[in-house]
Structure 1
Amino acid sequence: MTSYHVLEITYDYNGQKQAICPTLLQDASETILIDCGYPDFLPLLGEAAKRYKVPLESITKLIVTHHDMDHIGSLAALKRAYPHIEIIAHELDTPYIDGTKKALRLQQAESTFDALPDEAKPQAEQFIRLVASIEPVPVDRTVCHGERLPWCGGIDIVHTPGHLPGHMSLYLPASKTLIAGDAVVIEQGRLNIANASFAWDLGEAVRSVQRLLEYDIDQIICYHGGLFRGDVRQALRHLIHAYTS
């Protein structure tokens, strides 16, 4: 028996209420967390998991959809607290998680800093410091597009680049569920591209949405927005049309 839980974590950011949605998958032998929030989110993550009677120490594996700081910020703290957790990431994203290469968001922020107006530079400096402070963590297992992980009824790796080159989503064929990461988000009840103006390659991000049409999806779990149900194919087509028409 496989189950999943959407861990909605709410927090304040610059006086505004925000939310992220890591996901827990469970079967008889595995408890798998997908993404883990910002730095210092371990207590919030523990509270969210506790609502489903899942202690953090029971997590066996952690799958990273990509290396943005709201997805890996607490990765090092989790690994320190629970060294048995196996870290899994896409092969293209792994060098940015383990520190072999400088984080792409850090490169992006540094390369655009000089062109910013002076009033925007203090916030940009704060962002650069925060991204630079993310601790590297060794990746235990790398995966690639089309690979099926054997746990929780099967977890298909779907490479969905664009937001970042190594971004991946996860498809659960047993429940026809897509865990999207940041491939798509929910905004005002509709699917959209995540932070389109900051996408590493917006055209690639749209092509990744097109790739999702190859899968029989009944519901999508978005890291930003939570659970999307309804006519998924139609919603994906509307999104593609909005960026290609």
Structure 2
Amino acid sequence: MSIYHLLEIEFEYNGQQQVITPILLQDENDVILIDCGYPNFIPLLEEAANRHNIPLTSITKLIVTHHDMDHIGSLAALKRTYPHIDIIAYELEAPYIEGAKKSLRLEQAEASFNTLPDEAKPGAEHFIRFLQSIEPVGVDQTVSGGEWLPWCGGIRVIHTPGHMPGHISLYQPATQTLIAADALIIEEGELAIANPQYTLDLDEAIRSVERLLDYDIEQVICYHGGIFHGDVQQALQQLIHKYRD
């Protein structure tokens, strides 16, 4: 039997209080962490996992949904601290996580720099340096869209590009739960697209939401927002219509 735990982590970033929600999946064989926060988040992850009486030493696998800094910032440090953890990522994402390709978020920041007003450039330079500082780490296993992972009751990999081309979400049929990562967020109680202005391909992001209608989803867990409370199918349809109409 599989159990999931929400690791709600509250922290301050750029002077603002934020919350992210990595997920722990657990069964008799595995403890799987999905995404791992910003750099230096191991103590926060440890504290959140301990609230569920799960030590980080028990984690066997870490699934990365995409290579944004708030999802992979502590990845290299976790692998260094707990080398037995297998890092798993979508096949398109692996070169970015491993440092073989430049971060797409870094490319985006660099490309927009010259269009910024002068007063915004120091902040942008700081952000670029921060992105450059994210430490690469080797990926132990790559997965593809539609692949079935036989862990924690079974997990279906769903390729949900848009926010990033290699973004994935994860679906657990046994619990009818979608772990959306950044394919969806919750804003004021409603499902929304994560930072549309920073989404690399907004049309593709909406098509990814449309594909989610093919799944029997009772609950959605978003990295930014936690669990969605409401009719999932209706909320997805409303989100699609917001951008299509």
Q: Structure 2: which 5+ runs fail to align?
A: none
Aligned to 2:219: 219
C-alpha distance in structure 2 between counterparts of 1:141 and 1:149, whole Å: 11
SS of 2:24 mapped into structure 1 = strand
What whole-Å deviation, never above 9, does each CA across 1:165-192 have from its counterpart, x for those lacking one? 0000000000000000100000000000
Deviation at 1:229, TM superposition (A): 2.7
Aligned runs of 1:8-157 on 2, under 5 Å? 8-157=8-157
1:13 positional shift: 1.7
Local SS of the residue matching 1:198: coil
Cα deviation digits, residues 131-176 of structure 1 (max 9, x gap): 1100101001000111000001100000000000000000000000
Structure 2 SS opposite 1:25: strand
Q: Conserved in 2, the CA contact under 8 Å of 1:171 and 1:177?
A: yes
Taking only the aligned residue pairs, the percentage that are identical comes to: 68
**Contact 1:46–1:56 (CA under 8 A) maintained in structure 2:** yes
Q: Tell me which amino acid in the other structure corresponds to 1:96.
A: Y
For 1:238, the equivalent position in structure 2 comes to 238
Separation (CA, whole Å) in 2 of partners of 1:148 and 1:127: 37
Amino acid of the structure 1 residue aligned with 2:150: P
Aligned residues: 245
Distance 1:34 1:124 in 2: 29
3-state SS of paired residue (1:5): strand
Is the 1:218–1:229 contact (alpha carbons within 8 Å) kept by the matching residues of 2?
no
TM-score, normalized by length of structure 1?
Answer: 0.99
- 1:96-150 CA distances to partner (integer Å, 9 max, x unpaired)? 0001100000000001101100011011011101111001010010001110000
Q: Deviations over 1:184-227 (max 9, x none)?
A: 00000000000001111000000000010000000000000000
TM-score where L is the length of structure 2: 0.99
Partner of 2:169: 169
Q: Structure 1 regions of 5+ residues with no counterpart?
A: none
Root-mean-square deviation (CA), in Å? 0.5
Letter paired with 1:125: E
1:25 Cα deviation (Å)? 0.1
Runs of 4+ in 1 over 2 A off after TM superposition: none
Q: Secondary structure at the match of 1:70?
A: helix
Residue 16 of structure 1 deviates from its aligned partner by 1.7
In 1, Cα distance between equivalents of 2:241 and 2:192? 11
